[in-house]
Structure 1
Amino acid sequence: MSVKSLSSLFSFSKQSSSLSSYSSPSDILSPRTPKQTFSESMVEENIGNVETIITKWELSSSSNTKVTSLFLHDRKEAKQLLKGVKDLRQAMQFLHSENSTSDKLVHAQNLMQIAMKSLEHQFYQILSKNRDQLDPESVLSALSVSGQSSDRLSSLEDEGVEGSEDEDELKRAGENITEMERVSQFPISDLKAIADCMISCGYGKECTKIYKLIRRSLVDEKLYQLGIERFKASQIHKMNWEELEPMIKKWLSAVKIAVKTIFTGEKFIYDHVFSAPTTAIRESCFGDVTKGGAMNLFRFPELISKSKKSPERIFRLMELYEALSELWPEIESIFNIESTSAIKLQALSSLNKLGDSVRIVLSNFESTIQKDSSKTLAVGCGIHPLTRSVMSYISSLGDYSRILSDIIADYPPPNNSTFPEHYFASPISSDNQTPAVSVHLAWLILVLLCKLDRKAQLYKDVSLSYFFLANNIQFIVERVRTSQLKHLLGDEWVFRQEKKIKQYALNYETMAWTKVFSSLPEKTSSEISPEAAKECFRNFNAAFEEAYMKQTSMVIPDEKLRDAVKISIAKKLLPAYREFYDAYLVMSGGEKNLELLARFGPDDLVNYLSDLFPGTLMLSSSSSSSSLSSSCSSESQGSIRH
């Protein structure tokens, strides 16, 4: 602060000789303490004694120019100055009751103004010279280290400037006080002593003016050090997401420190400095100190919520919401007076706007799924890109289920009145209701399943439609099973989807391989003629080659589903073919020309089937051969006929 600013801060009214010059007579002379009985001579003596100590520490006096802080230089004299002001006020009350226009009362008022100017200067000095000790974090750390509550500070205040002769006496009164406590609590108790004195004498506005000026700059400085800058809404709206995301991360790191340290510590200091029951002063002072910084801090999430609502931004929005909601009880506690109500309203507004934005993003995401009109077929009837992107997004939403549940608790998903019966079986809440977040996420998956049904219709071959659906639902189930979604949707949901997968796989198998199965005779016997056997082999060769060639371009990314489909086909095909093949060899009697018709031996079929349905078209599944062969070799000839 410049010399000029400091000078203006401590300037007094030109009407210094009148009772109304600096405060109203009623402020100073109101009987706030029990009225004492004085004789006129005692009053004159009292004023004389007080004048000595007051004029000694007048700002213009030579002694005062050598000492920047009376309370640090000589605590005994500081105590005498405060006691002198108290005595002077009592004398003024007596004089006012005797003769409100007496010269003695005017003289006493002039002395009071000198004393107030001196105390005002001391108040400023303590605030400015003890910034480190009065830093909110330092004060809270001191209390944390000492393991004491604010009651300790209150007891020390009672033993402070007004109750102890010097620092040694204070130490004797509390030998277990740590150095950190002593350093941080002396300034607070001194500020309180001065504030109580000035306010009781009607100079509360002058006291709080200094306090607000110093403490507001400190709060703003601490917030700036945390990276909290002041932005206009227009600036935020012009920024792209790459610029906003680092700012959001910085805000998320800063807001907890700001609330739990800066504002909490500032409220602690303020409550102790201005603990006197002066509602008007308390109301305005703390609000003026914190309002600018707090409003700017809590307004930032609302500005972010108004930016473009693309799906990928929902996670940052939920993180902002979570940070504010977790801090809300402390925000309510800190800003619990009328002058700070705007701060609470701003924080609440940001919470509501963030919640609205999250719900809008979810609604837009659902619309994006429904409006997807891509005609592109999945490679090899495998996993459709839409399935991958949607399930990746939904499983990420599941990781935010706790906070998402709060946001959508009272907002049911659209068009959910036609949920399939028993779509959920678990988990359920204590009131037998499915959690809202489970309903919403299940609804989004249901929207995806409906879209996949329509995409399956793009395949001209119905068997490929079933193959496509089995692959994609298996992918969905696996993402659910290996993520937080399993706990949100429940085992019953997974079980029902797995039944669908099995049914779709069976439908595919029936449509794609029935011609191959039916090309073999229903019952192999020696009565079949060589010509009939030849015809069976011709039919089988043609049907198998056709089916095999069609399936070579198909993939099953999931290993378990891939093995299940192969083994199911093999169990229906290999035992029946082996039985017919062996019977034919006996029948042919070594006729070489007939052997040329049996182009596929049983072991050849095992190898061909093992090469089907790789995880990708670039990767064949050789590992399936052994499991497929062992599965089928355990079956006796003709034992498997489905």
Structure 2
Amino acid sequence: MINAFPPETIDNIHKTAKMMVSTGFEREFSDMYSRCRRECLVESLSRLWFQKLSFEGLQMLSWKEMEDNIKRWIKVFKVTLNILLPTERQLCDQVFFGFSAAADLSFTDVCMESTLQLLSFTKAMAIIRRSHEPEQLFRVLELFETMRDIIPEFKSLFRDQYSGSLQNEVATIWKRLGEGIKGIFMELENMIRYDAAQSAIFSGGIHPITRYVMNYLRAASRSRKTLEQMFEDRVKSSFSLSVQIGLIMELLNRNLEAKSKIYKDPTLCYVFLMNNCRYILLHIKDSELGSILGDAVIKKHTAKVRLHHANYQSNSWNKMLEFLKLDTNASMQPNEEANSMKMKLKSFNMHFEKICRVQSSWFIFDKHLKKEIITSIVKDLLPAYAKFIRRFQRVLQLGKNADKYIKYEMEDIAREVSTICFREEVNPINYHHIHICL
């Protein structure tokens, strides 16, 4: 842009400035110069399609319109700080060469209005209540990072006594954006805290709030360095980013515990908790969340998955083992033992069919967890069943008439168990619309 001025033109303007200053008309020349260049800067900004919006006007925009304005503002601000203002600084220094005070004053006069206009948008974004909704964290983070990255350049441009208020304004707005981001995390906490349990998730699958919060935190963790900068003032009071995310995780776990109470079947309750805890665990381990929260949190959630798995098996499959317990009464007659075993085997067959039928409609989202569950069931059930059948065949005179009571062979048991929790999950409805590329 500065190359568009012929060198002789700048030289002539400099000579004029020198003459005006030496004759006591420094302020008059500076005002005239500033007015001319100010109009040029405003025109340049208008050509970048940056529209000045009032605070009230911004509040009326939809979030999609707000997003478009944020993206446009970031581009315009970078062009302004990297091209337009440095050009004006260079031009002022050439025109007022030898008169640094006049150069500083003129530069500030030229750029003040346009710079404040640009900053007013960010200032509004920092205080508009709607910007504290969780979905909007990532765009506000972009604003914060943009301002953080240009502050050194800003200070080098506005380095004189006339632009102190402008430097303070930038620092204040940047801090407000940081407070706004902290406010967004508080909104996420409130969303979890007040998300009342209304209905059970069919098949014990992943609850939408679990998906939402974990995908949200995983996406947010990609901006770890920026977020840690947000909370650095809280670090001094032992409230860091890891503590903040840990609090959110604890709220989510409590919320899920409350939602699990909706299930009438306690076994399905544990399937729900097992699924959701496993989902949380995997999202921690395969993202930056793992290093933010630390190994202790990973171990804690691993233990939770194991506990829910154990409770699930104890409330369903371990009860099946009761039917396979052998009578230890030595005084029992063979026919009495045979009748007892017939009744036990009949009960086992009936409950085995029921549990396989019911649990075949349930859902375990993680194939590795599903394999662990099936392996664990088979490991406990098959040996007990085999021992019972061998004893049953001996009691009924080496297998005479035993086959009509034995409905399942060992292979049948293993095959039927493998069908449990095999149902494919129905695509979940989005809990909240969120503009994140996950």
Q: Same fold (TM over 0.5)?
A: yes
Q: Alpha-carbon deviation of 1:319? A: 0.9
Whether 1:604 aligns to 2:396 is no
* Matched residue, 1:265: 87
The yes-or-no answer on 1:444 pairing with 2:248 is yes
- 8 Å Cα contact 2:271/2:312 also seen in 1: yes
- 2:112 paired with 1:291: yes
The code of the aligned residue for 1:562 comes to K
Give the length in aligned residue pairs: 421
CA distance in 1, matches of 2:115, 2:425: 58
Matches within 5 A, 1:134-153: 134=4
Q: 2:189 aligns with which of 363, 366, 385?
A: 366
In the TM superposition, 1:393-432 aligns within 5 A as 393-411=216-234
* % same residue: 25
The answer on 1:571 being equivalent to 2:393 is no
**1:455 match:** 259
Deviation of 1:598 after TM superposition, in Å, equals 1.0
Distance 2:262 2:400 in 1: 47
Aligned partners of 1:610, 1:247: CA distance in 2, in Å? 54
The aligned runs of 1:83-482 (5 Å cut-off) are: 133-134=3-4, 187-277=9-99, 279=101, 281-307=102-128, 308=130, 309-411=132-234, 436-482=240-286
| CA shift digits 1:479-511 (9 cap, x unpaired) | 112222122112332122111111210111112
Distance 1:239 1:586, change over 3 A: same
Q: Quick one: which of 299, 306, 309 aligns to 1:495?
A: 299
Flag as ranges the 4+ runs of structure 1 deviating above 6 A.
none
Displacement of 1:522 after TM fit?
Answer: 4.8
Higher relative contact order (CA 8 A, sep 6+): 2
Cα distance in 1 for residues equivalent to 2:226 and 2:49: 26
Contact 1:314–1:361 (Cα < 8 Å) also in 2: yes
Alpha-carbon distance in 2 for matches of 1:558, 1:434: 36
What TM-score results when the alignment is normalised by the length of structure 2?
0.88
Deviations 1:278-302 (A, max 9, x none): 52x3343112110111110111111
Q: Distance in 2 between matches of 1:617 and 1:598?
A: 34
* CA distance in structure 1 between the aligned counterparts of 2:301 and 2:243, rounded to whole angstroms: 16
Whose helix proportion is higher, 1 or 2?
Answer: 2
Q: How does 1:46-57 map to 2 (within 5 A)?
A: none
2:430 matched to which residue of 1?
Answer: none
Q: After TM superposition, give the deviation of residue 400 of structure 1 in Å.
A: 2.0
- What letter is aligned with 1:542? M
**1:307-333 deviations in whole A, cap 9, x for unaligned?**
313221121111111111111111122
Distance 1:359 1:522 in 2: 62
CA contact (8 A) 1:355 1:407 kept: yes
Q: Confirm whether residue 531 of structure 1 aligns to residue 333 of structure 2.
A: no
Ranges in structure 2 where 5+ consecutive residues have no aligned partner: 428-438
- Structure 2 CA distance for aligned equivalents of residues 460 and 234 of structure 1: 50
Query: Is structure 2 residue 308 aligned with structure 1 residue 504?
Result: yes
Q: 1:128 matched to which residue of 2?
A: none
For 2:353, which of 545, 559, 562 is the aligned residue?
545
Measured in 2, the distance between the counterparts of 1:504 and 1:606 equals 23
Judging changes above 3 Å, is the alpha-carbon distance between structure 1 residues 510 and 278 closer, same or farther for their aligned structure 2 residues?
Answer: closer
| 1:83 aligned residue | none
Q: Give secondary structure in 1 for the equivalent of 2:264.
A: coil
Between the aligned partners of 1:575 and 1:523, the Cα distance in structure 2 is 17
Contact residue 20 and residue 29 of structure 2 kept, 8 A? yes
Q: Whole-Å Cα distance in 2 between the matches of residues 610 and 258 of structure 1? A: 64
1:484 aligned onto 2:276: no
Larger Rg: 1
What is the root-mean-square deviation of aligned Cα atoms in Å? Answer: 2.8
2:391 maps to 1:521: no
Residue identity opposite 1:495 in structure 2 = K
C-alpha displacement of 1:589: 5.3
**CA deviation string 1:82-129 (max 9, x = no partner):** xxxxxxxxxxxxxxxxxxxxxxxxxxxxxxxxxxxxxxxxxxxxxxxx
Q: Separation in 2 of the partners of 1:360 and 1:217? A: 38
Structure 1: distance between partners of 2:52 and 2:290 = 43
SS at match of 2:206: coil
Letter in 1 for 2:286: T
Cα separation, 2, equivalents of 1:615 and 1:360? 40
Q: Which is further off, 471-480 or 226-235?
A: 226-235
| Structure 1 residue runs without a partner (length 5+) | 1-130, 136-182, 413-430, 620-642
Q: Which amino acid aligns with 1:213?
A: R
Specify the alignment match of 1:180 in structure 2.
Answer: none
> Equivalents in 2 of 1:570, 1:523: separation in Å?
23
Q: Is the 8 A contact 2:393 2:400 kept in 1?
A: no
Residues 197 and 258, structure 2, Cα contact 8 Å, conserved in 1: no
- Asked whether the equivalents of residues 93 and 100 of structure 2 are also in contact (C-alpha less than 8 Å), the reply is no
Separation in 1 of the partners of 2:425 and 2:68?
Answer: 41
Secondary structure at the residue paired with 1:594?
coil
Q: How far did residue 362 of structure 1 move?
A: 1.4
1:610 deviates by 0.7
Secondary structure of the residue aligned to 2:405 is coil
Q: Deviations over 1:231-283 (max 9, x none)?
A: 2222112212122111111111121121111112211221232232452x334
Q: TM-score, normalised by structure 1?
A: 0.61
Deviations 1:449-507 (A, max 9, x none): 01111112222333332222111100011111222212211233212211111121011
**1:578 & 1:618 partners in 2: Cα distance?**
37
